[in-house]
Structure 1
Amino acid sequence: MFKDSQEGEVNSSTDIINEVVTDVIQDSLTISGICKDKDDDNIIACAVASNADYIVTGDTELLSVKKYKRIRILSPRDFELLFD
C-alpha cells in the first residue's frame, strides 16, 4: 500500500497528531466510554474542546458514532458532499 518512505511519513504524522491531541485535551476535558478505542475518545474530546463542527475521518469505529453532541463525524467523501 505505502512505500517504505511513505509509511514512515504516515507514522510520523500520526505521532504528531496524537501528541497535539494529547496536549489540547490535557488541560480541558476527559471523555471516555464513547468508543472502544481510548484514542478515539481523545479525538472526540479534542473536537469538543476546540468547538469543532465536524470530525472528518476514515476510522470505521469513530464513523459508527456518527454524532457526538453537536459534532458530526463524517468520512472525507461525506464531508465533501456537504459542499457540492
Structure 2
Amino acid sequence: MGELDADTAPALREDLAVLAARSTEGLLVLNLSGITFCDSAGLYTLLGIRQTLPLADIDVLFTGASAVLWAAADRAGLTAHLDLGDGP
C-alpha cells in the first residue's frame, strides 16, 4: 500500500467508493499492514471509511495495522475511533 497521505488518500476514497457500490457482501476487509507513512489526511480518510460505509450497510474491518499507522493514530488520539484491532 505504501503512503497514505494527502496525495494518495483521494485515490483510496475513489477506489473504495467503487467497491462499495459493487459490494454484495456487506463487509469490507482492509489490510493496512503495508502502510509505511500516514498523515492527518490518511487518518481522516480511514475515519471517514469507518463512519460512512456502515451507513451503506457495509461493515468495515481494518486488519494488520502497521506500527507506523498505530503511531500516527495514537498521536492523533484516534486509535479507539479507528478500531484498528490489536496493536502491531
TM-score by length of 2: 0.36
Greater helix proportion: 1
Which one has the largest radius of gyration? Answer: 1
TM-score by length of 1: 0.37
Greater strand proportion: 2
